[in-house]
Structure 1
């Protein structure tokens, strides 16, 4: 079970602010930026924001390891790398709560068992729908696959644009951040690591 679910085992409303309190907090922010929450265009905004947050941060309700689900032994002797690349993800920076938009490339070297391919994209989505740093998210994806599958190795590469850099601060629009996590053969074998990087377009 991943660390966030361990930290917050009870994700019911018990002990958490109510929906009404959350909407009141959005209304407070609207007033703080100089807006009038009572004007026609903003009357429903607090409720809409809270509803949107339920979707945008729905990853807190899910256990990534459980989401990986069944593994399969019927692989006909296949023991080479399995790569799912160009997985779109959206997350939010935990420092400023603004969007992070990017792609994930995830590979593993099976040790007798394989995963359903859609499950890998699902795990990326679960961790993306939480407040994150890109470094943490990269490691979390790798750790979840290691825990569920025990493969010979896992490689994860995330490349993303951070709106906290594009929209505020130094406003470096278009810059992308790349983070990696290598486990097992991808960490220990340079040829395997280089092949992964070539397959995801990071090395010519």
Structure 2
């Protein structure tokens, strides 16, 4: 579906610096100072319209959440949710995830969430998948020891290729579900895509992995 352009989005994002970090490279190595506390830092890459990161921040006030989204016409919807919720423990970054090392210091992040990422199904596009080894290298760098990646998708092909990518990289698989909504997993917070695909009868795949440090 074609993304609707919102020419006013940039100005709106700039108008809320308490929620949208305009120069995130300045927070590198001092994100706890940017949040004003020493709580663990969880990031969601590809935060979309922001339901997940907003609801997680509400449910876990003792954690700091950062939603990362490249498309400003999408992330502005996440900003609307955060403004309405008026919660202090969530921030947004309108940046490219390929530049994570520009924004986070080694061992600064406690958890990475990857929710319903673009599957890039063609083999020639495999390097663009957020679970490809080059991305895993970045996650490993910015994550603390025993930091985790929580991954959800409705795309079986992406899930299978991601599990292989995790395994090839030598990661430890600590949780896997081939049908999350029919499992006994507790505390799941759905994304907009998750609700849509679940309502269509698609199983939701989920995994938790960590690096062997």
TM-score w.r.t. length of structure 2: 0.30
TM-score w.r.t. length of structure 1: 0.30
